[in-house]
Amino acid sequence: MRTRMNFVKDYSRVIILMVVSLFVLCSMIYSTPVEQHRASALISADRAFDDDSSSPPQDLPRVDDQSNLGEAVTLQGPDCVRQLPEELQKFFKDCTLLENLDPRQIRAALDSGAPITIPIAGQPRRITAKLDRTLFAPTAIQGQERLRTRPIVRTAVSNSFVGTVVDMPRSNAGVTISDDNRFIFGFGSSSPKAEDSFFFETLVEPQRSSFRVLTYRGSDVLLKFSFPEDDAPKPRGSNTSSTSSSLSPLTHTTQRILGHGDQAFINSLGGSLSGAFARMEFLITCIRLWYQNFTNVRFQIAELWLRLSNFGPTNATTLRDTFQTHMESIAHQPAATYHVAHLFTGVNTDGSTIGLSQFPGAGPLGHYAISQMIVEPGFYDATVFGQGILVAHEVGHNYNATHGSCNAGPPPDIMCAGALGGPDTRLASFSAVSIGLINGEEPVKTTR
């Protein structure tokens, strides 16, 4: 009996051992893919700094600290698009909505190539993005509030949005598109800091324009609204020698003009970024029409820039020279980007000078001018039309037009030094002499 009992006991032990072994084996089979996926995600995330000497901020948890991540809630496809603000929906056929910034979910979404929406401060303040996975790799997450990524690397990916938030509080940024399809960007109630830089690039209207926000030189923030090349003829003079001192005759030549507004200009329009972009676009559209109607020059908007600071000088000559030096320092090949760069300033340039140009303006580095966008009491009322005349006048100097006769009208010559002072400026045009100078058909007899 003792032998039989020992046998039963041994047999029971074998059965128990087999059950336990089977359970362990099943557990291993079930859990391995999950652990491998998690390990892979962590490796991918940790490699974000392989090419960079940077390290994750010390006050943020490592990616493998899952305590602050929570469970990601993801919407994809049409369900995601319907969650976007109505004005954004028409621009997206597909997207992925991440309610929590789980790096594993982000990695999977990036690998799928779908656009991504990352909430920053809840509906409707969000960043809408189509991210290329080679440009985005999370390394440290804290709920929905902070995201640390590798620096942006420019690629040839078209129609894409490249977004990077460097340790930025979620309540400090928002972007949406207004009813008139203009981008509205804001840092909330806080001013941007060098360590709270925000970068993004996206397409506003397919095949038409794009909007970019960049930073450079510390906290100097620059917002860009870009217009891509169209089918217009390439500008003459783009590859001219650096010794060139005059424009060759223009024959319906397209010239690219870049508008640049400063913080004072934004302030003059109530602090509205979209309003500042709209005003620059409107004024350049006006001069495009004037030049198209009277000269051989055809202007195309290259880009519209807004800077969240001022250049500093109030003297017109110093301000123009500072603007020129600045533009040439950040544009490695200016002639390939623009031919005219125009500063729309809200700074009161000293004295009675309300505009000043580089004259003559020909050269491989482009042409530079400034126009004051605020009232000069008793001299310049800065109506929208008056602003347009001023910009057209200064751009005329860029193209070698001197001050024209103030007795050539009505309507007066836009190049008249007092063109802004008469009641009939709303009928402004170019005189025959000014047209010839701008077209490069007349010799320049005087200097300014």
Whether pLDDT at 192 is above 80: no
Whether pLDDT at 377 is above 80: no
- Of the spans 309-313, 344-348, 433-437, which averages the highest pLDDT? 344-348
- The encoded tokens of residue 384 equal 């929208």
Pick the CATH number of 227-438 from 3.20.20.70, 3.30.420.40, 3.50.50.60, 3.40.390.10: 3.40.390.10
22-33 pLDDT, tens digit each:
665 555 544 433
118-139 pLDDT, tens digit each:
433 232 222 333 322 222 222 2
Q: State residue 343's pLDDT score.
A: 95
Q: Are 301 and 406 in contact (CB under 8 A)?
A: no
200-251 pLDDT, tens digit each:
333 333 333 333 333 333 334 555 555 544 433 333 333 333 223 334 555 5
The domains of the chain are located at 66-210, 227-438
Sign of CA dihedral 421, 426, 431, 435: positive
- Of the spans 45-54, 158-167, 289-298, which averages the highest pLDDT? 289-298
Whether pLDDT at 279 is above 80: yes
Q: State residue 255's pLDDT score.
A: 85
Length of the chain: 448
Q: State residue 222's pLDDT score.
A: 56
Q: State residue 154's pLDDT score.
A: 26
How much is the pTM? Answer: 0.52
Q: Are 130 and 159 in contact (CB under 8 A)?
A: yes
Whether pLDDT at 197 is above 50: no
381-432 pLDDT, tens digit each:
778 888 888 999 999 988 888 888 777 555 568 888 776 655 545 556 888 8
> What's the whole-number mean pLDDT along residues 143-147?
27
